[in-house]
């Protein structure tokens, strides 16, 4: 039976379990990445594991999320990270070097390797044939220590691409098409693997745009084969030596096949407020826009910014539009600087931002009240831009740039195909790794400013829970709803302070109410609809609720990374066996769960009593995850079972 690219890589990294879809497997992780918004917690937990040095092939710590530094907090985080990383064998990519996923693809990624990152868009690495997976910071900490990463052995969806994109249609439109087909719900446990004759015309940055935004599907990861196109990219990065061909077998077996003819794709937009609210631009064009923002780990490559520069060259941004451009890495920035493209962008009236996440994480450039903003990033959740009433449309760089000139949403297909800026990958990228600081062999003093707290310790699992349903939320609650980023990012290393903002924009009193209840011995449960915990990998969306006394989340379904994070921090993810039960439970209801330890131990499902009625719910945890719950979280479990001797 032939193997897919996914199964070839998984097979070569399999250490525990069998490659049987939907069974749990443990794989060896070759590379890890963290970023500064999740990294501090990950490294504090790594330190608490008592390991002396990372055991991976390479581990990199990127500074890209919290670069505004409006106060001392994030600067303190960065200095902690730099000194800590130096001691433990971790490469440190300084602020200014670029967004983790873009830089990792350029400088470290390797076909056939496994990469685990404390960021949900780690699957960007699938653009060069890696199995690159996003996870919670503590999972990454365990992998850095040489521990396995456990996941559900995936089913594989094969997206077969044929044909070729028309001028003005972009890789972004391809992934928006896939999101239209698969939506953001119901894809947990799948990998998307792209094959077909159409991939030959997609460069690595285009492939990476597609795998990056696969995160919005909720799949484990997305991957392209590693082929001549991959080789060309790696050669141009001066890293041709890491290339190896990885193609699916001709008779590779897939669980589902989706055929897409690239010729038929047209420019699309993900409309407010979900990445799967897809419309064809031709059906919504003409609307006035206030802002266009080009950048983020989805669309900030040399290819993307060259296309933008060519569109803007000799033209002026419309007077009612603010155009923002943020190159994805120092490499991209430097190259468009030295070839003159940057001056075309500046001359058009664009505002140039540093190479960082910036607007994508709501760190600056919030749109005007009710403002319409076209953005090239991957998430348009309500309020994520920093403006609650902001209307964010996710589009390609080409659509954003053309629309910024016109002052309204335009359909690129209305423009002459002959003037389409077709960008070739250069034969040689500019290589300067001076902002990547290698670890040192001698010890430095680890800096711990006042913003650096303790690693999060989890309370032991209780046998009886008597509590209150603290909040009832609807379907598709994202981790941005649970734990807002933007102006609250300064508290990422300070759990008591950050916890004040749990569900800030959903129910601002949730935090103080839950903490008061906890002080009175009353625990909190969250009741939720489908796809609870969509979006980011931030484990703070589990740690902070835990700090407030949340011990249970009852939901119709959970997203992969978040449900793992809940277990890692001792919170029970319980799935309604009967969806209608969700309707019967209200916020403020009292709940009771008894004999928890025994049910967790014996593979059972705890019975939940709410307002006198008993509800059947399924504990969505593997045997190993049940052990983690019994140990009181992954940190305790790891210390008890692994790494005892450093």
Interface positions with ligand SF4 (CB under 6 A): 65, 99, 119, 121, 296-297, 357, 360-361, 377-378
- Cβ-based nearer residue to ligand MIC, 297 or 345: 297
590-593 and 607-610: which strand pairing? antiparallel
Q: Strand, coil or helix: what is 510? A: helix
Check binding of 140 to ligand MIC (CB under 6 A).
no
* Burial letters 28-58, b for 16+ CB under 10 A, else e: bbbbbbbbbbbbbbbbbbbebbebeebebeb
Interacting residues of 38 by C-beta distance below 8 A, sequence separation 6+? 118, 119, 136, 137, 492, 537, 538, 539, 540
Q: How far is the CB of 122 from ligand MIC (least distance, A)?
A: 8
Check binding of 298 to ligand MIC (CB under 6 A).
no
- Cβ-based nearer residue to ligand SF4, 293 or 610: 293
How many helices (H) and strands (E) the chain has is answered by 22, 27
By residue count, the chain amounts to 646
Q: How many whole angstroms separate alpha carbon 533 and alpha carbon 408?
A: 34
Per CB under 6 A, the list member of 9, 37, 128, 527 interacting with ligand MIC is: 37
String of DSSP letters for 559-607: -HHHHHHHHHTT-EEEEESSTTHHHH--TT-EEEE--HHHHHHTT---E
Q: Quick one: which of 602, 557, 537, 621 has its CA closest to 221?
A: 537
- Cβ-based nearer residue to ligand SF4, 112 or 136: 136
Q: How many whole angstroms separate alpha carbon 597 and alpha carbon 464?
A: 8
The secondary structure of 118-164, three-state, reads CCCCHHHHHHHCCEEEECCHHHHHHHHCCCCEEEECCEEEEEEEECC
Give the position of tokens 């285009």.
206
Check binding of 468 to ligand MIC (CB under 6 A).
no
- Cβ-based nearer residue to ligand SF4, 412 or 535: 535
Count other Cβ atoms within 10 Å, centred on residue 437.
17
Question: Which region among 12-20, 221-229, 532-540, 613-621 touches ligand MIC (by CB under 6 A)?
Answer: 532-540
Q: Quick one: which of 163, 165, 169, 164 has its CA closest to 415?
A: 169
User: CA–CA distance from 262 to each of 127, 376, 394 (Å)?
Assistant: 17, 20, 19
Q: Select the binding partner of residue 98 from ligand MIC, ligand SF4, none (C-beta < 5 to 8 A, by kind).
A: none
- Angle (nearest 5°) at CA 362 between 172 and 208: 25
> 190 forms bridges with which residues in the sheet?
155
Q: How many whole angstroms separate alpha carbon 373 and alpha carbon 165?
A: 25
- Cβ-based nearer residue to ligand MIC, 220 or 537: 537
Q: How far is the CB of 534 from ligand SF4 (least distance, A)?
A: 13
Q: How far is the CB of 353 from ligand MIC (least distance, A)?
A: 16
Q: How far is the CB of 166 from ligand MIC (least distance, A)?
A: 30
Q: What percentage of the chain's residues is helix, strand, coil (to nearest 5)?
A: 35, 20, 45
Q: How far is the CB of 487 from ligand SF4 (least distance, A)?
A: 14
- Cβ-based nearer residue to ligand MIC, 63 or 410: 63
Per CB under 6 A, the list member of 159, 366, 485, 621 interacting with ligand MIC is: 485
Residues 352-371 that bind ligand MIC (CB under 6 A): 361
Here the tokens at position 120 are 């949900």
- Cβ-based nearer residue to ligand MIC, 374 or 542: 542
Q: How many whole angstroms separate alpha carbon 487 and alpha carbon 363?
A: 7
User: CA–CA distance from 609 to each of 20, 553, 596, 614 (Å)?
Assistant: 36, 14, 13, 4
- Cβ-based nearer residue to ligand SF4, 73 or 344: 73
Residues 42-71 that bind ligand MIC (CB under 6 A): 65
- Cβ-based nearer residue to ligand SF4, 176 or 621: 176
Check binding of 535 to ligand MIC (CB under 6 A).
yes
CB 517 within 8 A of CB 467: yes
Per CB under 6 A, the list member of 6, 32, 34, 38 interacting with ligand MIC is: 38
Q: How many whole angstroms separate alpha carbon 224 and alpha carbon 226?
A: 6
Check binding of 536 to ligand MIC (CB under 6 A).
yes
Q: Select the binding partner of residue 537 from ligand MIC, ligand SF4, none (C-beta < 5 to 8 A, by kind).
A: ligand MIC
Question: DSSP assignment, residue 627?
Answer: H
Q: Select the binding partner of residue 17 from ligand SF4, ligand MIC, none (C-beta < 5 to 8 A, by kind).
A: none
Check binding of 538 to ligand MIC (CB under 6 A).
yes
Q: Select the binding partner of residue 38 from ligand MIC, ligand SF4, none (C-beta < 5 to 8 A, by kind).
A: ligand MIC
Q: Select the binding partner of residue 49 from ligand SF4, ligand MIC, none (C-beta < 5 to 8 A, by kind).
A: none
Q: Quick one: which of 231, 229, 230, 155 has its CA closest to 193?
A: 155
- Cβ-based nearer residue to ligand MIC, 69 or 87: 69
- Cβ-based nearer residue to ligand SF4, 36 or 73: 36
Count other Cβ atoms within 10 Å, centred on residue 431.
13
- Cβ-based nearer residue to ligand MIC, 103 or 608: 103
Q: How far is the CB of 492 from ligand MIC (least distance, A)?
A: 7
Q: Select the binding partner of residue 66 from ligand SF4, ligand MIC, none (C-beta < 5 to 8 A, by kind).
A: none
Q: Select the binding partner of residue 99 from ligand MIC, ligand SF4, none (C-beta < 5 to 8 A, by kind).
A: ligand SF4
Q: Select the binding partner of residue 172 from ligand SF4, ligand MIC, none (C-beta < 5 to 8 A, by kind).
A: none
Q: Select the binding partner of residue 296 from ligand MIC, ligand SF4, none (C-beta < 5 to 8 A, by kind).
A: ligand SF4
- Angle (nearest 5°) at CA 602 between 458 and 150: 55
Residues 99-138 that bind ligand MIC (CB under 6 A): 119-121, 134
Residues 155-214 that bind ligand MIC (CB under 6 A): none
Check binding of 216 to ligand MIC (CB under 6 A).
no
- Cβ-based nearer residue to ligand SF4, 489 or 628: 489
CB 29 within 8 A of CB 115: yes
- Cβ-based nearer residue to ligand MIC, 121 or 560: 121
Q: Select the binding partner of residue 481 from ligand SF4, ligand MIC, none (C-beta < 5 to 8 A, by kind).
A: none
Q: How far is the CB of 387 from ligand SF4 (least distance, A)?
A: 16
Q: How far is the CB of 104 from ligand SF4 (least distance, A)?
A: 11
Here the tokens at position 422 are 């077709």
- Cβ-based nearer residue to ligand SF4, 56 or 377: 377
Q: What number of chain residues touch ligand MIC (CB under 6 A)?
A: 13
Given the rule CB under 6 A, which residues bind ligand MIC? 37-38, 65, 119-121, 134, 361, 485, 535-538
């Amino acid at each position: 039976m032939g193997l897919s690219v996914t199964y070839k890589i998984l097979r070569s990294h399999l250490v525990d379990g069998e490659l049987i879809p939907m069974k749990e497997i443990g794989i060896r992780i070759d590379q890890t990445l963290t970023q500064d918004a999740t990294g501090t917690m990950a490294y504090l937990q790594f330190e608490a594991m008592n390991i002396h040095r990372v055991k991976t092939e390479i581990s990199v710590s990127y500074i890209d999320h919290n670069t505004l530094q409006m106060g001392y907090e994030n600067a303190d985080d960065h200095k902690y990270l730099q000194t800590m990383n130096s001691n433990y064998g971790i490469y440190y990519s300084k602020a200014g070097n670029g967004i983790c996923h873009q830089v990792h693809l350029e400088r470290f990624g390797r076909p056939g390797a496994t990469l685990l990152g404390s960021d949900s868009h780690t699957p960007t690495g699938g653009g060069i044939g890696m199995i690159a997976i996003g996870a919670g910071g503590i999972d990454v900490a365990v992998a850095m220590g040489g521990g396995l990463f456990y996941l559900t052995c995936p089913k594989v969806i094969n997206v077969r691409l044929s044909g070729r994109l028309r001028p003005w249609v972009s890789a972004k439109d391809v992934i928006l098409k896939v999101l239209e087909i698969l939506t953001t719900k119901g894809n947990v446990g799948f990998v998307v693997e792209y094959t077909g004759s159409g991939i030959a015309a997609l460069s690595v940055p285009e492939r990476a745009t597609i795998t990056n935004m696969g995160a919005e599907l909720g799949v484990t990861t997305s991957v392209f084969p590693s082929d001549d196109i991959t080789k060309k990219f790696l050669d141009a990065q001066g890293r041709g030596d890491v290339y190896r061909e990885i193609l699916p077998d001709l008779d590779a077996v897939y669980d589902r096949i989706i055929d897409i003819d690239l010729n038929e794709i047209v420019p699309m937009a993900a409309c407010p407020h979900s990445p799967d609210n897809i419309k064809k631009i031709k059906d919504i064009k003409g609307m006035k826009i206030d802002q266009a923002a080009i950048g983020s780990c989805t669309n900030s490559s040399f290819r993307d910014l060259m296309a933008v520069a060519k569109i803007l060259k000799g033209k002026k941004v419309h007077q009612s539009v603010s155009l923002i451009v943020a190159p994805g890495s120092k490499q991209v920035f430097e190259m468009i600087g030295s070839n003159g493209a940057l001056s075309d962008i500046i001359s058009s009236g664009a505002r140039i931002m540093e190479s960082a996440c910036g607007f994508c994480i709501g760190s600056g450039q919030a749109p005007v009240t009710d403002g319409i903003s076209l953005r090239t990033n991957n998430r348009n959740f309500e309020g994520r831009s920093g403006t609650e009433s902001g209307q964010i449309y996710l589009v390609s760089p080409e659509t954003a740039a053309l629309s910024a000139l016109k002052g309204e949403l335009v359909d690129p297909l209305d423009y002459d195909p002959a003037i389409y800026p077709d960008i070739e990958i250069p034969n040689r990228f500019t290589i300067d790794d001076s902002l990547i600081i290698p670890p040192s062999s001698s010890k430095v003093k680890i800096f711990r400013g006042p913003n650096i707290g303790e690693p999060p310790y989890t309370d032991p699992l209780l046998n009886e829970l008597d509590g209150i349903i603290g909040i009832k939320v609807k379907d598709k609650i994202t981790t941005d709803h649970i734990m807002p980023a933007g102006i609250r990012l300064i508290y990422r290393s300070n759990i008591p302070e950050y916890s004040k903002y749990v569900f800030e924009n959903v129910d601002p009193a949730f935090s103080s109410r839950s903490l008061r209840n906890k002080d009175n011995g009353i625990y909190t449960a969250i009741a939720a609809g489908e796809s609870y915990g969509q979006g980011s990998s931030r484990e703070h969306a589990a740690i902070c609720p835990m700090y407030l006394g949340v011990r249970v989340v009852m939901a119709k379904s959970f997203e992969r990374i978040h449900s793992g994070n809940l277990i890692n921090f001792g919170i029970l993810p319980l799935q309604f066996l009967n969806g209608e039960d969700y309707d019967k439970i209200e916020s403020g209801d009292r709940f009771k769960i008894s004999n928890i330890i025994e049910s967790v131990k014996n593979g059972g499902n705890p019975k939940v009593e709410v307002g006198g009625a008993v509800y059947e719910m399924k504990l969505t945890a593997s045997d190993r995850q049940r052990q983690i719950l019994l140990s009181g979280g992954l940190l305790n479990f790891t210390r008890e079972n692994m790494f005892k001797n450093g």
